A = this chain, B = another copy of it.
Amino acid sequence: MDREKLINEIQSKQTFLCIGLDSDINKIPTHLLELDDPIFEFNKAIIDATKDLCIAYKINTAFYESNGIKGWNSMQKTLDYIPHDIFTIADAKRGDIGNTSKMYAKAFFENLNFDSITVNPYMGSDSVKPFLSFDDKWVILLGLTSNVGSKDFQHLKFEDKSLYKHVFEKSSKWGNENNLMYVVGATNPEFLEEIRKIIPNHFLLVPGVGAQGGSLKDVVENGMNKECGLIVNSSRSIIYAGSELDFAIKSREAASSLQQQMASYLY
């Protein structure tokens, strides 16, 4: 999916919500467990209930890999089920030396046909660039994350500038606004404003709204640009909003509440 199409979807659906399919066999409603592929059936119900309220689905690969071959199969079926006008994110946090990153790109962009993949910047330019050479595919680079451990290294200062700022400055030259986005944690809204000074136009994927405690209002005030420029993810607070037979209805209610807030910020 290209940038223009993504912006159009945000405008027409009046939402910049991404729903994270962190689907855990130990947390999904128990009545699904008797089905052949409970994780896929769960995702299918969530997608059916929410697809008009979001512009992206994020598949957290860890939750699928933990089930081995069966999990990889659930992931593939889920991806195939997502409508083509919805942006898909492989939240895979990959990155390795060049020839290996090329293989990961092949795995997620060709074999699985995701629109985008999250990538870790620690190994530098040649670990990221192989992902940037695919038409209408995106790297979503870890910039500043929302977890406690982000303080360990991302906030270390080099020449009076934190590591994460070096990551934004340097990596923004590896790609452009049409193939590169960034992960910026919602629990750090005070940093969003500073990040926007470095990369005013890039899209940001913002996790951490909902279960992780981030506020949508703070994110919008500090991170929105004239084309929106935000994809805000919520996982657990939507997909686990209910745990009974009506779980999909509950997830729709949770997604709808966020979509309505988002619409109020879009014009």
Show the binding face of A for B, using Cβ within 8 Å.
22, 24, 60, 62-63, 65-69, 71-73, 76, 91, 93-101, 103-104, 106-108, 110-112, 120-128, 142, 145-154, 156-159, 163, 166-167, 170
Copies in the complex: 2
* A167: B residues at CB distance < 8 A: 153
Q: Name the one of B68, B124, B148, B170 contacting A107, with C-beta atoms under 8 angstroms.
A: B68
Report yes or no: A68 in contact with B112, Cβ–Cβ below 8 A.
yes
Report yes or no: B153 in contact with A124, Cβ–Cβ below 8 A.
yes
Report yes or no: A123 in contact with B149, Cβ–Cβ below 8 A.
yes
Q: Name the one of B76, B93, B158 contacting A163, with C-beta atoms under 8 angstroms.
A: B158
- Given A60-B100, A68-B72, A123-B147, are A163 and B152 also a contact pair (CB < 8 Å)? no
- Given A69-B76, A93-B95, are A124 and B147 also a contact pair (CB < 8 Å)? yes
In the complex, the chain B residue whose C-beta lies closest to that of A124 is B149
- Given A67-B111, A69-B73, A96-B93, are A124 and B104 also a contact pair (CB < 8 Å)? no
Report yes or no: A163 in contact with B153, Cβ–Cβ below 8 A.
yes
Q: Name the one of B146, B156, B159 contacting A166, with C-beta atoms under 8 angstroms.
A: B156
Report yes or no: A153 in contact with B121, Cβ–Cβ below 8 A.
yes
Report yes or no: A151 in contact with B122, Cβ–Cβ below 8 A.
no
* A100: B residues at CB distance < 8 A: 22, 60, 62-63
Within the complex, the shortest CB–CB distance from A207 to chain B, in Å, comes to 8
* A76: B residues at CB distance < 8 A: 68-69
